[in-house]
A and B are shown apart, each in its own frame.
Chain A
């Protein structure tokens, strides 16, 4: 299992390295994104202050941590479908799925590079936050934050695996990715707190794991909230994870069997 995951990591690193500007541009866009929020904060930051009081952070620090966090857990939501599609287009999907690798291991190996790179990006965010943007780390409750990270990453990974089923079966046109891309950021409190939304939209946000993930992360990071204070968020994330993780893997196996039956694994 380790050998197979390492093989995927090495392969993806070598492919990434073969695109000379890819890494550089990825890092540059991280910083430009931050700069946009910095200036939005200068312009409108005060207007959002009442909504941010419970987190104990200004707008820029709120959106900075939420973006860094969402960037990491969003890797789970987006990368399964993205990597599967890349394998389809390269023509390597059927051959790699012919190897004696269990679907769960295949999915882990397939996205291992994305998670590794996302961890690196998170490190860049942390360093930039500490040394450039004067982010205050003194209140962070690291134990609670780790639990939030773990549960959020798992529930998002499950959503990502669901999303990859559409790619296996339909190749292009992925409604799950559309929902994830368009609604998670908008309704989940990544770019502004959910309290800003009208009541009817806030009702929809209750059905998204990102809402609980971002809120719990902000509270543990800026206010040092412990397990007791974020227990309802942790419970919601646990329910999402326990329900979605086994279902998503089962759906992936079913989709794989269907694609094998139709003979479409090698198609794009």
Chain B
């Protein structure tokens, strides 16, 4: 599914009076004039410093946050929040969006059922991710609040991946993952884009991670897209020697 944004803007109101009046003057600007395209079969990276607006952009694209200005189209048709929520899956960082008193497996059963999946379907898919993300055998039966941060992150990824959405939004997905798990996760994401045609939007602070997994990389600073490293540019940098693509992304971030 082809997703395009047109002049997206978002400012968080700074106080309740402004919020009530629907006015955003004096608030915190998170996005301004963002125009981008997410192409099927492509992993698009999004880099930038803390507070650049990366998570806000992902939440807008996933239909969880309504922009103040601009809009998104899916396959050429203007999409409202509800259509965006149906088309995309967002993997968030951390355990706070899970029920801590349920086991990890019961959590996945619950979230899958909300998307209309049967228990057999969910079990089948989670078995795949269990292997892919190196989830320990005992972890699915553990209560969510007893999981390590890394294990919780793996279930957060499994929840988003099992939906098989045409648009996949991954917000710092490799944070807390060990080397082995992140390596197989990267391979899987590339395969998902290449073989199933998913449009993947991937954020990270780490230029090395972006260089390793992304087909193209965008840089966001203070809510504005400031640079783009296209596929050919990244390939050219990578061909120049080890660490060159990473250095090119780091340089674009530093500009």
Contact = CB atoms under 8 A, between A and B. Distances in A.
B66 interface: yes
Given A90-B99, A260-B66, A262-B19, A3 B113 contact: yes
A11 B99 contact: yes
A260 B10 CA distance: 12
A3 to B, nearest CB: 5
Contact of B106 (A11, A95, A100): A11
Interface string A76-102: 000000000000001110111011110
A11 B111 CA distance: 10
A14 B102 contact: yes
Interface residues of A, number: 27
A4 interface: yes
A263 B92 contact: no
Given A11-B106, A100-B85, A262-B13, A94 B64 contact: yes
Contact of B114 (A7, A15, A260, A262): A7
A93 to B, nearest CB: 9
Interface in B74-113: 81-82, 85-86, 90, 92, 96-102, 106, 109-111, 113
Contacts, number: 77
Interface in A1-31: 3-4, 6-8, 10-11, 14-15, 18
Nearest to B65: A263
A123 to B, nearest CB: 26
B86 A260 contact: no
A150 to B, nearest CB: 28
A96 B106 contact: no
29 contacts: A4-B113, A7-B109, A7-B110, A10-B110, A11-B102, A11-B106, A15-B99, A15-B101, A15-B102, A18-B102, A90-B99, A90-B100, A91-B97, A95-B92, A98-B64, A99-B111, A99-B115, A100-B116, A101-B114, A260-B64, A260-B65, A260-B66, A261-B22, A261-B65, A261-B66, A262-B12, A262-B13, A263-B59, A264-B19
Interface of B: 10, 12-13, 19, 22, 56, 59, 62-66, 68, 81-82, 85-86, 90, 92, 96-102, 106, 109-111, 113-116, 118, 143
Interface of A: 3-4, 6-8, 10-11, 14-15, 18, 90-92, 94-96, 98-101, 257, 260-265
